[in-house]
Amino acid sequence: MDAELPSGVTPAPTSPPLRVLFVDDERAVLDGLKDLLRKERRRWLLSFAEGPQAGLEAVDAGPFDIVFSDLRMAPVDGAAFLAAVQQRCPSAIRVVLSGSSEKAAALRAATVAHQFLAKPYDGEALRVMLNRAEALKRTVADERVRAWVGGLQALPSIPSTYLDLSYVASNPRASTDDFVRVVERDPAMCSKVLQLVNSAYFGVAQTVVSVKQAVTFLGTETVKTLAISAHVFAVPEPNVPGFSAAGLQANALRTAGLAKRLAGAERDAAFTAAMLCDIGQLVIARAEPSGFGAALRQAQDEGTPLHVHEAAHCGATHMAVGAYLLGVWGLPEALVRVVAGHHEPSTVGEGSDQVLAAVHVATAALAGAPTDEVPQGLDLEFLARSGHAASLPGWLAQAKAARAAPRRAA
């Protein structure tokens, strides 16, 4: 191995340099990467390992914050190598670097890879990815929390999603819309298809924020592959009394439906963002079931929002963990921002606020008591500052109607 040396979670005031490992079984590729990043060697700790065995030795001597691996290596391919990295260094972001045109191999790696970057390397895209990894590390300073996310093999999906997708996949007359309707009902599947379509491996020239766009770009065959992948679906339900993936899914659907109506021209992005907003709860419930259960009980006993108690009992909020997960997966920053700020929008800084405002109001309005004229938890200052105060009465009227509507089974 060669080395080139030079909220719910409180960001570190200073952060050690980003630790980066590149693994490839071709020396020329590693030399090219060294040249490409030569100007960055004083900023980041860059290491290069020739072949998977040298890569595992480097990981054991690590740790690393982000590991890049070629997809096609011998005798161990990139997917198997990254699976070993996941076990040995779960807090590391894992990225496949490959020029392979076989998407089946990439989908196999999708169970252990967070992102994909295609050969020939785009130096600017690589720097953007490293910059983002550095920012994520600063935001979530707790390596234990980063390991929660890095250790995931899949997010829990309720069995009906698997069955519905399998049924659609078996129907030769099934349309893209049929797949979309099933995928949109499940936060884990929403996030997975968006993770894949926004990866450089699939070569989409634009940022994709809607599930329909994602399914269209990926194609139904790819979605079928995901549908029958045990790594996506065969995950036990988190063992937390009073919590279920099915209940989370039902709430996500109601919130997403309302946010879509409130967001106007941004309705597709609002639907997707609202579906993903509570995905961090799935991560915490699996990683810290005892602490998450205590936070859930306290929230229920006191009639207060869950996120108020998560940091004390678990060490992080579902907003921070969900935003970190989506950031690690390389999903659009606009989505990450909404997930991070859907309960406390004033905490996420400046930016386009239409989607954030719609999701924030939908979340607060559906969680509040039916008798509340103005739901608790609404950030009225944010709504005024972002120009949405005038829309609030109409939005709350729509929320009231949504609350009165009978709930449908997820």
pLDDT in tens, 171-215: 888 888 999 999 888 888 888 888 888 877 676 778 888 999 998
Q: What is the distance of C-alpha 335 from the center of its chain? A: 9
pLDDT tens-digit map of 254-272: 999 999 999 999 988 999 9
The partner residues of 47 in beta bridges, in order of sequence, read: 3, 21
> Which of 202-216, 247-261, 353-367, 374-388 has the weakest average pLDDT?
202-216
3-state helix, strand, coil in the chain (%, to 5): 60, 5, 35
Backbone angles phi, psi at 47, to 5 degrees: -125, 150
Looking at the structure, give the CATH architecture of the domain made up of residues 245-404: Orthogonal Bundle (1.10)
Average pLDDT of span 97-104: 68
* CA–CA distance, 368 with 196 (Å, rounded to integer): 35
Share of the chain above pLDDT 90, in %: 50
CB atoms within 10 A of CB 35: 10
Average pLDDT of span 378-385: 92
The pLDDT value recorded for residue 406 is 61
pLDDT tens-digit map of 389-406: 999 999 999 998 888 776
- When pLDDT is cut at 50, 70 and 90, the band that residue 50 belongs to is very high
* CA–CA distance, 340 with 345 (Å, rounded to integer): 8
Query: CATH for 2-150, among 3.20.20.70, 3.40.50.2300, 3.30.360.10, 3.60.9.10?
Result: 3.40.50.2300
| Domain spans of the chain, in order of start | 2-150, 159-233, 245-404
Quickly list H helices, 94-158: 103-109, 123-139, 143-150
Q: For the whole model, what pTM was predicted?
A: 0.86
CA distances from 43 to 15, 56, 133, 250 (A): 12, 24, 13, 45
